[in-house]
Structure formats: C-alpha cells, structure tokens
Structure 1
Amino acid sequence: MEENIHIDFPLTYQAIQEKTRVSGFSMASDVLTGSLLRTLAASKPASNFLELGTGTGLSTSWILDGMDEKSTLISIDNDDAFLSIAREYLGSDSRLELVNSDGEDWVMSHLSLRYDFIFADTWHGKYLLLDEVLNMLNPGGMYVIDDMIEQANWPLGHREKAEKLIQELENRKDLKMTNLVWSTGIIICVKK
C-alpha cells in the first residue's frame, strides 16, 4: 500500500514546494508529516497553535488547512529569506502570524503565552528550551515533533541527542507520549 496515494494537498502547497526547491531549503517536513499535522490540527477547534521553525511554510500550510476559522497560528523562523516564501503564499490568511525572530529570543520573551498545539520543527522547543516550550502547552494540548528516525543528513552525534530527547519525553510525568516509527519519526505528546 502506498502511504501517500490519496493525499489532498493544501491549496498553496504545490506553489510553496516549487519555491522551496528553487530556494535550496532542504529541511522541510515530508508529506506524510504534513497530512498528520492537518488531521491533528482539525481535532483542536477554536485553539491557539504555535509552530517553531516555519521554514518556507510547507508544514504551516498543512496546519492551516486543518485549523478552523476560530483558531490562530503563530509561526516563528529566524531566516527571513525562507520566511518570505511563507509570507508570499500564506501571509493573507488572517489566522496566521508569521514572525521573523531567533527562536530563543521569541520563546524567552513570550513565556506567559499558552497554546493548545505546538509543532516544534527546529532546535528551540525540541533540543533547546524544551521545558520552557512544554510549559507553554495547555492541559490537553498537543506537542508534536518530527525527524526522530535517524537520517542520512544528521551530523555526527545527533543520534545521541535524539535518543536523549526521546528518553526525556518518556520520563516526563506531565505528558502522555506516542513515538511513531513512521514517516521521518514523529512523536506526539499530550499535556496532562
């Protein structure tokens, strides 16, 4: 069975994907991850969403495609060249706020904010500032990360960091966690 045979892509996805290819950005989430993000987002009506690591907006388009009209998404990235692609194709969506900022600076200056869904697709909120970002999650909120299965482009020593992160998430008493060995390796946690 082909895993992505019947995927209905977000309206802007193909255009963003082409601009992403031309830009040289190579860290985008895959289609299966995007499809799952859309489904999970649809389970959170009238919610506040946070994406750490917009990139060019491919995963952002999936999250927006799952969100209802009463939900909002703040998406953060530190590379304005890539963020400009997301801005071009998604910037007119009134539910979305795209922010060009260093992840640490943004997280540390917004610690009082709370979210119902966090997709951490960059170092901050995943390998850095994990406690701070998880504290931003409402009870019942979802925390999602991808790229947890070893990949060819991982630098030396990254596998150990990923294993340490998985163990840290498994040991937390405030989360229920599922580790999916699917797509690029996805972890979904729900805050108790």
Structure 2
Amino acid sequence: MTEEINQTYPKAYQQINAATVASGFSMASDILTCSLLKTLATSKPSGSFLELGTGTGLSTAWILAGMDKHSTLISIDNDARFLAIAKDFLSYDDRLTLIDTDGAAWFGKNNDKKFDYIFADTWHGKYLLLDEAIAMLNKGGLYIIDDMLPQQNWPDGHQEKAIKLIKDLESRDDLHLTKQVWATGIVIGVKK
C-alpha cells in the first residue's frame, strides 16, 4: 500500500490549484487530506456539510466531489481575495453556498443550524468556538480537523495551541475520537 491518490480529482482541482499557487496562498489542505475529505463526505448521503475556512476552495472541491446531489455545503472564509478563487471555479455548483464573513459573526447568527459533517480548517470552530462547532453536529456527525502535526508555516507558540486543542478534544465525552499521525495530522471525531 502507498499514499498515492487513486481517486478521480475534482474537475476544477487543477485550475484551483494553479490559481492558489499564483495567489501566494500557502495554507491549502494537502492532497492526502483532501482525498480523505472526499471519502468521508460520501458517507453522509443527503447530508448537511459545513467547511470553516474555504481558503481558495481546494478542499471545498474535494468535499463537493464526495457529496451526493441531495447534500448541501456551506463554506465560510473571511478573506475575500482567496474566496474569490473558490467562487470563480465552484460557484456553478448549486449545492454550495460560499460566505465571506468573520467566523465569530457567522457562529453568532447561525448557532441553531445542525450539520452532519464539519471540516474546521481555520481558527473558528477549531481553536476558537470549539464548543459551538461541536454543538452544531448531529448525532453521528463528523468533526474533522487537519494540520495537527507541526507545520513549517506555524508561528511561534502555535504548537502549544495544537497540543491544548488535542487535550481538549480528548477530554470531551460527546465525541468518539481518532487521531491520525498521517498527512498533516488529522483528527476525526464522531458525535455521540
């Protein structure tokens, strides 16, 4: 077995990737994580999906590729420049709602929403407002985070934040948790 990706890439992936490189965005999810996101998305037919941190839409494209036609995805980001790349290549998909907003403001207005799948790839819903994000999960819902292994682009002090987050997740009694020392370090929780 190898880590080679043997799945079909999303149709807009290469274009989004080229635009991502050209934009200088360096926080995109790696291809192994994206492949897993697609696979896990397939497990939630007619699901309600949330992505916190669209970036340029690379992971968004993979999540959409795994979703069925009856599923919906809300993806939020607060950087209009990078979100514009996702809009350019993914706005044709009527299952997707892209929102340019601050994460805290979005949580404040949407705390009554429920999701079957949350990919938290930014501060809000991961390092900030974790309880609020977990409260939005339906029973059996997936909570997915990546970048839990040390990364070259981490600022000073970030490793301590990641360690604390893992401890916080491990102490919860409302999630079944699996930590994977693979790709960039992935944690998957399932809501009890």
1:132-183 CA-to-partner distances (Å, cap 9, x unmatched) read 1110010100000000001122111111110000011011000000000000
SS in 1 for 2:68: coil
Q: Is the 8 A contact 2:48 2:116 kept in 1?
A: yes
Note the C-alpha offset of 1:6: 2.4
Q: Is the 8 A contact 1:4 1:31 kept in 2?
A: no
* Aligned twin of 1:16: 16
**Structure-1-length-normalised TM-score:** 0.98
Query: For residues 11-90 of structure 1, what are the structure 2 equivalents within 5 Å?
Result: 11-90=11-90
Q: Is the 8 A contact 1:141 1:191 kept in 2?
A: yes
* Aligned twin of 2:147: 147
* Aligned twin of 1:95: 95
Q: For 1:6 and 1:132, how far apart are their aligned partners in 2?
A: 35
Q: For 2:34 and 2:181, how far apart are their aligned partners in 1?
A: 16
Q: Which runs of 5+ in 2 are unaligned?
A: none
Q: Relative to 1, partners in 2 of residues 1:82 and 1:40: Cα closer, same or farther, differing over 3 Å?
A: same
Q: For 1:152 and 1:94, how far apart are their aligned partners in 2?
A: 36
1:40-73 CA-to-partner distances (Å, cap 9, x unmatched) read 0000000100000000000000000000000000
Q: Is the 8 A contact 1:38 1:67 kept in 2?
A: yes
Note the C-alpha offset of 1:24: 0.5
Q: Is the 8 A contact 1:16 1:58 kept in 2?
A: yes
> Aligned residues: percent identity?
62
SS in 1 for 2:73: strand
Q: For 1:2 and 1:139, how far apart are their aligned partners in 2?
A: 33
Corresponding letter in the other structure for 1:161: K
Q: For 1:163 and 1:178, how far apart are their aligned partners in 2?
A: 15
Q: Is the 8 A contact 2:146 2:184 kept in 1?
A: yes
* Aligned twin of 1:107: 107
**Aligned length in residues:** 192
**Structure-2-length-normalised TM-score:** 0.98
Q: Is the 8 A contact 2:13 2:58 kept in 1?
A: yes
Q: Relative to 1, partners in 2 of residues 1:65 and 1:5: Cα closer, same or farther, differing over 3 Å?
A: closer
Corresponding letter in the other structure for 2:134: L
SS in 2 for 1:109: helix
Q: For 2:83 and 2:28, how far apart are their aligned partners in 1?
A: 12
Note the C-alpha offset of 1:4: 2.1
Over 4 Å off, 4+ runs:
none
Note the C-alpha offset of 1:102: 0.5
Corresponding letter in the other structure for 1:138: N
Q: For 2:5 and 2:49, how far apart are their aligned partners in 1?
A: 28
* Aligned twin of 2:181: 181
Q: Which runs of 5+ in 1 are unaligned?
A: none
Q: Is the 8 A contact 2:170 2:177 kept in 1?
A: yes
